[in-house]
């Protein structure tokens, strides 16, 4: 294990100063990925049909408090909007008032699906460009070695410059490619969650309209 760490450290040092900037982007991208993974896949599950069904059952029995207990303190945007709908229904609001309250609440919750997601695309692009800067820096070092040092040192400095150029390019791509893949996966998940949110709120709102009409 110690040998592998030493090899990794040597490889990292060979990449030159731009490796530290790339390492910062890697750490930031990892943090964003973990946070979005928890939010989009743990806090925001996709199967809301059963939840809406339970709410409709409770409301059909005139038990809005029971419906609120079903929602509990869940923090997903879907639950937040459904909670607004149930509370408006409990307060005796008309279907138009309930829909207006849902739309108003949606302004503050829909953006949560996209929070920090664009950072992954940013990290991918910037990491690629910083890797390119490292490549240029390494090549400049190589050409400088050819022009200014004696023949005995040329091979060593030339190899060091080419190594820096290749390592920074590789490290930048190692960061950029996964960032773009994860961004695409999360963007698709976001679209699916927004669709589920629309369907869930519309189903519950239509039920409330029918119930208000039948009262």
pLDDT tens per residue, range 58-90: 988 889 899 999 888 888 999 999 999 999 998
- Looking at residue 215, what is its pLDDT? 57
* Predicted pLDDT of residue 95: 85
Does the structure show a pLDDT above 90 at 128?
yes
Token pair recorded at residue 82: 């459904």
> What is the C-alpha to C-alpha distance for residues 90 and 86, in angstroms, rounded to an integer?
6
Burial (Cβ within 10 Å: 0-12, 13-18, ≥19) of residue 64:
middle
- In this prediction, residue 127 carries a pLDDT of 95
3-state secondary structure of 94: coil
Q: Which residues contact 155 (CB under 8 A, 6 or more apart)?
A: none
> Which pLDDT does position 74 carry in this prediction?
82
State mean pLDDT over 140-147.
71
What pTM was estimated for this model as a whole?
0.85
pLDDT over 90 (residue 113): yes
- When pLDDT is averaged across residues 7-26 and rounded to a whole number, the result is 85
pLDDT of res. 152: 62
């Amino acid at each position: 294990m110690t040998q592998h760490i030493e090899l990794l450290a040597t490889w990292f040092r060979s990449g030159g100063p731009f490796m530290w900037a790339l390492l910062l982007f890697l750490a930031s991208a990892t943090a964003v990925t973990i946070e979005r993974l928890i939010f989009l896949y743990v806090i925001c599950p996709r199967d809301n049909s059963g939840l809406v069904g339970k709410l409709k059952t409770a409301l059909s029995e005139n038990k809005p408090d029971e419906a609120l207990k079903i929602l509990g303190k869940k923090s997903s945007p879907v639950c937040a909007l459904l909670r607004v709908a149930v509370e408006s229904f409990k307060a005796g609001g008309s279907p138009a008032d309930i829909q207006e309250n849902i739309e108003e609440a949606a302004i503050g919750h829909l953006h949560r699906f996209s929070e920090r997601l664009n950072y992954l695309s940013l990290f991918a692009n910037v990491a690629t460009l910083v890797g390119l800067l490292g490549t240029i820096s390494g090549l400049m070092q190589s050409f400088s070695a050819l022009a200014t040092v004696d023949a005995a040192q040329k091979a060593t400095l030339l190899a060091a410059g080419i190594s820096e150029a290749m390592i920074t390019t590789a490290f930048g791509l190692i960061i950029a490619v996964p960032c773009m893949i994860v961004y695409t996966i999360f963007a698709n998940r976001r679209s699916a969650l927004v669709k589920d949110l629309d369907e869930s709120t519309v189903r519950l709102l239509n039920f409330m309209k029918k119930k208000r009409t039948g009262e």
